[in-house]
Amino acid sequence: MEKRDLYDKNKVRTGKTIFKGEKIPDGNYIIVVLTMIQNSKGEFLIQKRSKLKDGLYGATGGHAKAGETGLEGAISEVREEIGVDLKKDEMNFLYESREDDKQVFFELYYAKKDLDISKLKLQEEEVESVEWMDMDKIDSLVKEGNFLINHVEEIYRTVDILKERSDLK
């Protein structure tokens, strides 16, 4: 059973942990991560979540486990869900927020990488399939109500940040 570190409102580890699925105690937070992977054509790697989850489309993400930083959590979620080993120097930190109502610190990462998706090893209980998608296809899935709304917001945020920053690899 996975454990998660608890943080105070200033993102300082409290030294306490909870198990996955346990209620986050009042005044505490956990870290949630999302990684946007984009190929050289400008398409994003989008996964169709398993029916066990909700069957919607989204990006790769999850919760940092106990002992992991947000970056390490993002890397391990990508490895677990789609079988891709990203290195720290391939990851770009884009954005962070604290969401008091959800008791989470949210971290958004970005990696530019061409992957042969036919060779990916998907975590069946989490991911049904993956596909490279351009923004038109993503917008279409959003209009149909088939995309996780908070994930699409972060894709749009990523696109905006990419327009502003030339330092991203």
The string of pLDDT tens digits covering residues 91-102 is: 999 999 999 999
For 59-134, where are the alpha helices, taking DSSP H only? 70-82
Query: Which superfamily, per CATH, for 3-164?
Result: Nucleoside Triphosphate Pyrophosphohydrolase (3.90.79.10)
Q: What angle do CA 19, 34, 116 make, to 5 degrees?
A: 115
Does position 105 have pLDDT exceeding 90, yes or no? yes
DSSP state of 107: E
Q: pLDDT tens, 14-24?
A: 999 999 999 99
As a whole number of angstroms, the distance between CA 6 and CA 30 comes to 5
The whole-chain average pLDDT of the chain stands at 95
| pTM tops 0.85 | yes
How does residue 166 score in pLDDT terms, banded at 50, 70 and 90? Answer: confident
- Angstrom distances, CA of residue 109 to CA of 12, 37, 51, 87, 149: 20, 9, 25, 12, 17
